[in-house]
Amino acid sequence: MNNAKWILVLLLISLSGCVVKSTQLSSILAQFDNNRIDLSDNSWMVNYAGYEAVVYAISIPQGVLFSNSAGDLVLFDGWSISKVRGMGRSQIDIVVDDQLDQRSFNDKARLTATHRCEDWQQSVHSNMVQHSQLCYGDRQYKNSILVNAEGNIAIIRQVIDKRHRAITLSKLN
For residue 28, being part of any structural domain is answered with: no
Domain membership flag for residue 162 = yes
21 domain residue, yes or no: no
* HSE-up of residue 34 (Cα within 13 Å, Cβ side): 6
For the chain, what is the domain count?
A: 1
Q: Report if residue 103 sits inside a domain.
A: yes
Per-residue pLDDT of the chain (173 residues; tens, 9 = 90+): 455 554 544 444 444 443 333 444 455 555 555 555 556 678 999 999 999 999 999 999 999 999 999 999 999 999 999 999 999 987 899 999 999 999 999 998 899 999 999 999 999 988 999 999 999 998 999 999 999 999 999 999 999 998 899 999 999 98
Question: Closest Cα partner for 125 from 148, 155, 102?
Answer: 148
Q: E strands, 3-160, where?
A: 43-48, 51-60, 63-67, 73-76, 81-86, 92-99, 102-107, 110-117, 121-125, 128-136, 140-147, 153-159
14 in a structural domain: no
Give domain status of residue 67, yes or no: yes
User: How far apart, in whole angstroms, are the C-alpha atoms of residue 142 and residue 158?
Assistant: 7
pLDDT at 38: 57
Is residue 26 one of the residues assigned to a domain?
no
β-pair type (121-125, 128-136): antiparallel
Q: What is the pLDDT of residue 108?
A: 87
Helix (H), strand (E) at residue 23: helix 22-34
- Rounded to a whole number of angstroms, the distance between the first and last alpha carbons of the chain is 23
Domain that residue 50 falls in: 38-171
Kindly state whether residue 15 falls inside one of the protein's structural domains. no
Cβ–Cβ < 8 Å for 84, 160: yes
